[in-house]
Amino acid sequence: VSRQHARVGVAEGEAFIADLGSHNGVRVNGERVQGTRPLDGGDVVTLGNVTLVFHRGERPLPERRALETEGLRARLSEELDRVHSSGLAVSVLALEVESARVPQVELVRALHGALRLMDGVGQVGGTLMVLLPDLSGEEAEAAAAHLVSVLTPLAGRV
């Protein structure tokens, strides 16, 4: 990544990122940035093959938004590229929720405190998909068990 790729700055107390016309583009949470975009704590920024998680203090965490299908696919593709080039891990959980009556926004809200800033969540059909960068094996299994324990009181069997 070069200095001509993107610019991160602060204006009037708000952080932002701007794509400077780079070849590989800038993505935030899997969505391509056109021009300038504000940054929230927990946003995952991808510059070429580099992935960053933006953190900011002194503010409550923004409400976690579920990734749309295309955003989820883009984020998974970025994570797989990162895994391929770095040798790190990524786990993907597919959680089937028994109760179809619980809206997706409630399920995501329930997971909010149980997920790390860098984790991603979205829904494909009736399946809740969770991306867990840098987790594999026993760590991923423990995270999955914890997420299931969080969702079960709300949604029944998971």
- In 27-57, which positions are buried (b, 16+ CB within 10 angstroms) versus exposed (e)? bbbbeebeeebebbbbbbbbbbeebeebeee
pLDDT tens-digit readout, 93-112: 998 887 667 787 888 888 88
Q: Are residues 75 and 150 in the same domain?
A: yes
The domain that contains 15 carries what CATH number? Answer: 2.60.200.20
Residue 116, in any domain of the structure = yes
Query: Which residue would you say has higher pLDDT here, 155 or 76?
Result: 76
* Overall number of domains in the chain: 2
In the chain, % helix, strand, coil (3-state, to 5) comes to: 30, 30, 40
Where do the H-state alpha helices sit in 41-126?
69-86, 104-111
Q: Do residues 37 and 89 share a domain? A: no
Is there a single domain that holds both residue 91 and residue 128? yes
pLDDT in tens, 41-53: 888 898 887 888 8
pTM, 2 dp: 0.64
Cα separation of 92 and 124, whole Å?
Answer: 13
Q: Write the DSSP symbol of residue 67.
A: B
Query: Is residue 63 in some structural domain?
Result: no
53-88: per-residue pLDDT in tens? 888 776 565 667 788 888 888 888 888 888 887 778
- Domain residues for 144? 69-155
